Structure 1
Amino acid sequence: MAESSPPAADILKDGFLSKQGGGYRNWKKRYCILRENSLSYYVKKGDNKPKKVIDLTEGRGVREKKQCTMQDWPGDAKFCFGVASSKRTWYFYGSDGKDVKEWMDLIQQCIEKVGKPTKDWGNDPEGKPESVVSKAIRNTTKTAIKHGKGHIPSTGNEYLDGAVSTAADVAENQLDADPHASAKDRLKMAGGDVISGVADTVDNPVVTVAANVAKDQLEADEDLSLKQRLALAGGSAVEGVGEVTEIDAVGIAGGVIKDQATADEDASLKERMAIGVGSVAAGVKEGADDALVYHVAKSVEQGAGDVADHYADNRDTSSDSE
C-alpha cells in the first residue's frame, strides 16, 4: 500500500513509538501516523515517504502485552502492544501509559471498522506457539550439533576442518533462531556466521579486521545513511584492531565510534555524550575480570542508557510541539 502525503485532516493520531524491526528484531523509535485504513511509520518526523504502511483492512486486532506470548520485550518496555494482521504482528511500546492506551484504542477502533477483527489472538501470525514435536526435534538436533562439533574427526586440513566447524555453527544458530525469522533475516545470520568462521580459520590480522567490518555492515540497520555506514565501518575496523592487538582501550574506542555512528542523526550533544559513556561502560564490563568492576560498569551502562533515553524523549516531545 503506497502513501503520498494525504491531507492532515485524515490523521487520527500521530507521534513517536518504539517499534521492533522485522530483521534483527532491534528496537527503533519511529514517527507513526494513524489513519482509518492504515498505520504508517517513518524514520523521523517530516519524512515524506513512510518506512512502512500497515494495512489495517487486513488487521485482526490490537494485542496486549500478555497476549504476545512469543515476544521478548526490552527490560524498560512497560507499555507494550502488538498490531496483528493476517500476515504479521507488529510490536510497539511507548513511555507514556495514557498515550499508548490511546494508540491501542484508536487502532482497534479502525480495525473494527475496516479490518477483519477477531479475538482469537492465539492464532495470530507470530502468535502461534511452536508445537511440542517441532520443539523436541529442533532442540535434539541443536544439542547433537553442539556436542558433536568437538568430536568430529580432523581431516588434517585446517581449512576443511574450519569449513566443517563453520557449517556446524551456521546450523546450530539457525536452529536456535526465532521460529518466525524471515528468510532474509536468516540469510543475514548465516552470512555473519560464515564471515566469523572464515576469520577464525584464516587467523590473519587483516582478515580479522575486514571480517569485523563486513559482519557489522551485514547486521546493520537498513535505515542507516551512507555517512553512518562509513562511520560504522571505521568503528568496526578500530574494534577489530583492538581484538587483534588485544588492547582493550582500542576495542572500547571502536565500540564508542560504532555506537555514535548508529545513533539517531538528530541526537543532541548531551544525548550523544550519554551514549558515549554507556559505550565505554559496556566495553569495560565486557573485559572486566573483577566482579565489582563488572557490576559498577553494568550500573553505569544502564544509567547512561536511561539518560540517553531521557534526552531522546525530550527531543521527540519538542519535535511534536513544533
Structure 2
Amino acid sequence: MKISIIGIGKVGSTISFVIAKDGLASELVLYNRTREIAHAEALDIQQAVALTPHRLLVRDGDIEDTAKSDIIILAVSAPMTKEMKSRAELLLSNTQIMLSLIPLLVRHSPQAIFINVSNPVDALTYQIWQIARQHSKQIHWQQVIGTGTLIDSARFRDLLASQLGIHPADINAYILGEHGDGQFAALSSAMCGGEFIDANPLRQQMVEDAKQSAWTIFQTKGYTNYTVSLAVELIVRSIVEDLRSTLPVSVSIDGYCNVYSCCLSVPCVIGRQGIHRRLETQLNERETLAFQNCAHVIQQQIQFCQSQIAHPY
C-alpha cells in the first residue's frame, strides 16, 4: 500500500507519523514545496518506525515520486492567520494550489483515492473532484473524500459521552452538513444501545460547543492537528483494511435532500474502493432545512471561486 502525503506542515507531518506508527502503508512518500522539510520529517519518522513492529519505507519526493499511489492525502494549504474569521477565506488561494497539483497527481496515480484535509474542506473537496475529473476519465466521485464533519462528530460525541457517562464509541450520533458554521447534529436519529438520545437544549448547545472548540484551539495554537490526524487515520485504515466503516465524510451529493452540485458530509461506508455507499440518514424537517442551507452556503462559495479563476477547469 503506497500512500503519499502532500503538504508537510503541522497537520501533514502529524498525519504522516500516525500512519507510519500504525503501519498502514508499505511506502509513505512525503511531498512539500520546501523539500528540505519533507526530507527531515521523513528521516525522523523512518527512524521512529524502528521502535514499532512495522516495516515500511518513509521518504521524501517530488510529485513524480507519488506515482502509483493507492491513497493521496492533501494537507497543503495557504497560511491561515489568526485574523481570519472563516475557513472560506482560504478557498480561492487553496483552489489555485489544487489547480497546480491535482492534474499532475491524477496523471501519475489515476486509481488513487484522494483524502482532502485542507480548508474550507467541503467547497475545496468539490473543487478537487471537478479538477480531477477534467484530467482523467478514470477517476470517480467515490475516490474523492473530504474529512468533513468526522472531526466535528468526534468532538460532539466526546461532549455527549461526558454528559451521558457512556464511551464515545458506543454513541451513534453524527454532525452533518458543512464543516463550518452551518453544521448540525442529526439528533432525530441519534442513538445509544438502541435508545434514542433526547434532543434537549443541552445537547443542542453541545453542537455549538463542539464547533467553537476548534476555534479555541486554533486561536491559541494557530492550528489543530491531533483530532484531524486521527480522523484521517480512521479513513485510511477503513480503506487499507477494507473495513467498510461508516464515517461522516464530505463527498459529492447527488439528490440527497434535493441537493446537488456540492460536497457535504453524510454517513458513508468506506472501504478499499473509497466510498462504497452514501447512507441517507432520515432527517426531520428542521434537519433537512439545515442540510439544504449548508448546501446553499457551499454552492455560493464554489460559484464565487469559479468566477474569480482566470482559466476555469
Taking structure 2 as the reference length, what is the TM-score of the superposition?
A: 0.26
Greater CA radius of gyration, 1 or 2? 1
- More helix, by proportion: 1
- More strand, by proportion: 2
Q: Whose relative contact order is higher, 1 or 2, with alpha carbons under 8 Å and at least 6 apart? A: 2
